[in-house]
């Protein structure tokens, strides 16, 4: 499994608008067959910060996701609301029995 944490820096006063805009990309992404989970989380300690937390079956699934029309649309529409480049971290995960 691949876990993605994408930290967004939002322009002052634009977080509610960004969350409203994100509802479409969240709904579309959750229908992708290899998407395990896809959430946009608010940072309650930073009024200009929020993060997408995503789980995918593998890196190839994530790469396919990044080429979808809904991600292209999201990038275009969200850009005016962002104050900085999104920081994306990718983690590899595996389940183990303890």
Say how far apart CA 12 and CA 80 lie, in whole Å: 12
Instruction: Give the domain range for residue 25.
Output: 2-92
Can you give the pLDDT of all 98 residues of the chain as single tens digits? 999 999 999 999 999 999 999 999 999 999 999 999 999 999 999 999 999 999 999 999 999 999 999 999 999 999 999 999 999 999 999 888 88
**pLDDT of 96:** 86
CATH code: domain of residue 39: 3.30.70.100
**pLDDT of 95:** 83
18 falls within a domain: yes
Say how far apart CA 21 and CA 12 lie, in whole Å: 16
**pLDDT of 65:** 98
11 falls within a domain: yes
97 falls within a domain: no
72 falls within a domain: yes
Say how far apart CA 16 and CA 13 lie, in whole Å: 8
Instruction: Look at the chain and report how many structural domains it folds into.
Output: 1
98 falls within a domain: no
Count of H-run helices and E-run strands, the chain: 3, 4
Instruction: Answer whether 0.85 is exceeded by the pTM.
Output: yes
């Amino acid at each position: 499994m691949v876990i993605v944490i994408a930290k967004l820096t939002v322009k002052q006063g634009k977080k509610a608008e960004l969350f409203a805009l994100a509802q479409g990309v969240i709904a579309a992404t959750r229908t992708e067959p290899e998407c395990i989970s896809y959430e946009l989380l608010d940072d309650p300690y930073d009024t200009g910060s929020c993060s997408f937390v995503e789980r995918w079956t593998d890196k190839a699934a994530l790469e396919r996701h990044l080429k979808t029309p809904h991600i292209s649309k999201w990038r275009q529409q969200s850009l005016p609301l962002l104050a900085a480049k999104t920081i994306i971290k990718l983690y590899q995960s595996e389940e183990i029995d303890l």
